Amino acid sequence: MRQAEAGAARTMLERTAERFRLKPKRLAGDSAYGEAEMLHWLVEEQKIEPHVPVIDKSTRQDGTFSRAEFTYDAGADPYTCPEGKTLTTSGRIVNEGTTHIYLGITFDCGPCHLKQQCCPNTPARRITRSIYENARVVARALKGTPAFEQSRQDRKRVEMV
Ligand code: SF4
């Protein structure tokens, strides 16, 4: 259902651009439009601001560190953990071509005093990152801005009608 809604929106935007040479500056939508691939299409390909809640399932529910506890360096590419150690990727893409995996090393994680809060069941910490994560970062940064709030109110008014 989510994919169908996002697919319909893409088609509408493409047809409008093709027939009328019109392209919006922003797209206001609910979380049905917040999948990583849709956000990537909006941000990177269409240069349209996504005023959309981001779908993010990276928060862990078991009390161990979520990905948000790690710092990403967009320039050099590694993640840095709360202990200041580096998690790197081989560059291989998994999950049907959608995900990079970043790994810590057993040498760091094994003796780490935060291991039980970080990776109690594995020798070293593992983090996944969508290949579309940059677009999600852009969408997250827009949330709460005056323009985003305006879009949210406009969308509610339209949906009520
Ligand atoms: S267990 Fe590893 S990744 Fe986690 S905080 Fe310690 S050194 Fe960092």
Q: What is the model's pLDDT at position 75?
A: 83
pLDDT value, residue 111? 97
Which helix (H) or strand (E) element contains residue 12?
helix 2-20
Most informative mutation of 80, 103, 118, 127 for ligand 1 (most atoms within 8 A of CB):
118
Q: Which atom of ligand 1 is nearest to the CA of 124?
A: 2
pLDDT recorded at residue 1: 55
Q: How far apart are CA 154 and CA 161, in angstroms?
A: 11
Could you read off the pLDDT of 36-53 as tens digits, one per residue? 999 999 999 999 999 999
Question: In angstroms, how far apart are the furthest CA atoms of the chain?
Answer: 62
Q: Which atom of ligand 1 is nearest to the CA of 112?
A: 6
CA of 81 to the centre of ligand 1 (A): 6
User: Which residues of the chain fall short of a pLDDT of 50?
Assistant: none
Domain boundaries, the chain: 2-54+143-160, 67-130
Q: Look at the pTM and tell me if it is higher than 0.75.
A: yes
> For position 160, what pLDDT does the model report?
84
What pLDDT does residue 6 have? 87
| Pocket around ligand 1 at a 6 A CB cut-off | 81-83, 85, 104, 108-109, 112, 114-115, 118-119, 125
pLDDT value, residue 56? 80
Q: What is the pLDDT of residue 27?
A: 94
Q: Give per-residue pLDDT as tens, 80-107.
A: 999 999 999 998 999 888 999 999 999 9
